[in-house]
């Protein structure tokens, strides 16, 4: 199989300089941040202002090498990597649904102001997609071992982050 190479299209700016105390999912974050793109992507944002939420796809630039068995934030039990949302993965790609607050263009860049960030400052952005409630929300979905966990109160720690 050929290698797949992605190049960041921008950067996500957040108030989180370290993972300690960071929200573990965007839905439980009130933190605001911005998505900064070069001006050349401005036309690609046409119509995005009509959406209340967008999906950010990004690279976990501070993740460690992956293990197939991990201890997630919400369990004392060891789980398989593909049953958790830990950042240490064979391909360290993250996704977050954030609220789109505003779009501002400057001389050389476009800035999307967002709410609900749950990633480190300076996270490389790979893509943006619109969030469609009708497509992206499955009302009768099961949440496996996550059900009945107190995830709203859980914060991140350094277990999945490499040192600089």
pLDDT tens digits, 50-78: 999 999 999 999 888 888 998 877 677 89
**53 neighbors 131 (Cβ within 8 angstroms):** yes
142, part of any domain: no
Alpha-carbon distance of 136 to 25, in angstroms, equals 16
3, part of any domain: no
49, part of any domain: yes
Q: Which residue has the tokens 């990597």?
A: 81
16, part of any domain: yes
108, part of any domain: yes
pLDDT in tens, the chain (164 residues): 899 999 999 999 999 998 888 887 777 788 899 999 999 999 999 999 999 999 999 999 988 888 899 887 767 789 898 988 788 889 999 999 999 999 998 889 999 999 999 999 999 999 999 998 887 777 876 666 556 656 555 555 555 565 54
Structural domain count, the chain: 1
107, part of any domain: yes
154, part of any domain: yes
CATH number for the domain harbouring residue 16: 2.40.30.70
140, part of any domain: no
* Residue-number span of the structural domain to which 102 is assigned: 10-133+148-159
Query: pTM of this prediction?
Result: 0.83
Q: Which residue has the tokens 């900064």?
A: 36
């Amino acid at each position: 199989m050929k290698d797949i190479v992605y190049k960041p299209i921008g950067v996500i700016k957040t108030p989180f300089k370290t993972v300690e105390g960071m929200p573990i999912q965007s839905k439980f974050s009130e933190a605001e941040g911005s998505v900064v793109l070069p001006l050349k992507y401005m036309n690609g944002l046409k119509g995005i202002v009509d959406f209340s939420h967008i999906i950010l796809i990004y690279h976990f630039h501070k993740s460690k090498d992956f293990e197939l068995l991990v201890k997630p934030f919400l369990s004392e039990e060891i789980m398989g990597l593909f049953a958790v949302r830990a950042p240490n993965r064979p391909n360290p790609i993250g996704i977050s649904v954030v609220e789109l607050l505003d779009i501002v263009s400057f001389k050389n860049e476009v800035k999307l102001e967002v709410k609900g960030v749950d990633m480190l400052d300076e996270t490389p952005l790979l893509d943006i997609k619109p969030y469609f409630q009708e497509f992206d929300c499955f009302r009768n979905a099961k949440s496996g071992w996550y059900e009945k966990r107190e995830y709203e109160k859980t914060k991140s720690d350094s277990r999945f982050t490499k040192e600089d």
